[in-house]
Amino acid sequence: MRAGIRRRLPPHLRRDVEILLRDGVIEEMSRAVSRLADVEVIDLRDCTVSPGFIDSHVHLTMNAATLAGQTLGSTATKALTGPAIARRYLDAGCTTLRDLGAMDPGNPTIDLRNAIDAGLVRGPRLIVAAHIISPTGGHGDISGFYTSRWDLPVSTLADDRAAVRAAVRREHSIGSAWVKTVNAGGYFSFGDDPAVNTWFDDEMEAPCATARQLGMPVAVHTGAADACKQAIKMGVRSLEHAYLIDEEGVRMAAESGVFIVPTMQMSSSAPIAGSSRSTTASRSLQRRWRPVPAPCARSRPLPQRRHACSAGRTSAP
């Protein structure tokens, strides 16, 4: 592969470089790589070649725009829908995705990851948290979408330390690479508030301690400033969204090496956490904002990037 570009480059980029790929792995980069005579040459001298991008928060089997109805689909339907969405990410330049939970009693994202790893379908590398561990009434509890007589086992609910530990152990047993939990409300769930912390300290400590013992990192959907700081203290590896995080929380994350994966279009307008107006303003945001649906709801070929990483790092995990 010959890569280069005609316009003036910043000093950290290199011009007129050859890249030798063997079995999908970069083997050599120099002005003239060693190669056999019959090697395939891809001429990209008018392009800039970059490493693959990482999107550290996706849901390949969840459609936020039609979540209530889509959740009722079978595990197989979700697993079979995922590859097309994963390929769209790959075509957009994302070679690694971290999928943070499916609303399903089965394991569709685990199945999808395994199929990609086995070469059965084409897609980016997947790092998976199979389910979302949530307290009853928390962001991961979507029972509010349905009538009270329905008891659908689509949410992974846990309301005490023993139940939380059991849920984490199940994630480990089915092959999850990460544990996903929630400790604040959200904007797509029913009846909760992003400005309210939904775990007690001992409940937030339970998934972190159990996951740590099993060698798994924890990602937490969080919102309120106090919830962000609680999660950092209890040992999470990444804060997801962190809608209302304050300066103290950002500083704690940086000092602890915790990734922050913000939702950018919400962060720019969120109220300052800790103020007397946080809850009121948060509910106002729920009324005024219409969050962007997940990529599976889109008809255009390229998914919109919604998440980025901060706290001193450029990508996660």
Supply φ then ψ for residue 310, to 5 degrees.
-135, -145
Lowest-pLDDT range of 13-27, 75-89, 261-275: 261-275
pLDDT of 149: 67
Q: Does residue 248 sit in the same domain as residue 167?
A: yes
Q: Does residue 76 sit in the same domain as residue 143?
A: yes
Q: Which domain holds residue 58?
A: 53-297
Assess whether pLDDT exceeds 60 at residue 103: yes
pLDDT of 246: 95
pLDDT of 140: 79
pLDDT of 9: 59
Assess whether pLDDT exceeds 80 at residue 12: no
Q: Does residue 158 sit in the same domain as residue 270?
A: yes
Q: Does residue 36 sit in the same domain as residue 62?
A: no
Q: Has residue 306 been placed in a domain? A: no
Q: Does residue 64 sit in the same domain as residue 141?
A: yes
**First CA to last CA distance, the chain:** 29
The tally of domains found in the chain comes to 2
Decide which of 275 and 206 is more confident: 206
Q: What is the mean pLDDT of the chain?
A: 79
pLDDT tens-digit map of 145-201: 777 767 777 788 888 999 999 999 999 999 999 999 999 988 766 777 788 888 899
Q: Does residue 237 sit in the same domain as residue 88?
A: yes
Q: Has residue 305 been placed in a domain? A: no
Q: Does residue 163 sit in the same domain as residue 270?
A: yes
Q: What angle do CA 52, 126, 315 make, to 5 degrees?
A: 45
Which DSSP symbol is given to 42?
Answer: -
Omega of the bond prior to 301 within 30 degrees of 0, cis? no
Which DSSP symbol is given to 130?
Answer: -
Q: Which helix (H) or strand (E) holds 98?
A: strand 94-100
Dihedral of alpha carbons 241, 243, 248, 249, sign:
negative
pTM as predicted: 0.75
Q: How far apart are CA 237 and CA 186, in angstroms?
A: 20
Q: What is the DSSP string of 34-67?
A: ---TT----EETTS---PPEEEEEE-TT--GGGH
Q: How far apart are CA 236 and CA 221, in angstroms?
A: 11
Q: Has residue 197 been placed in a domain? A: yes
Residue bearing tokens 């005490």: 160
Q: Does residue 62 sit in the same domain as residue 174?
A: yes
Which DSSP symbol is given to 65?
Answer: G
Q: Does residue 214 sit in the same domain as residue 101?
A: yes
Q: How far apart are CA 308 and CA 314, in angstroms?
A: 8
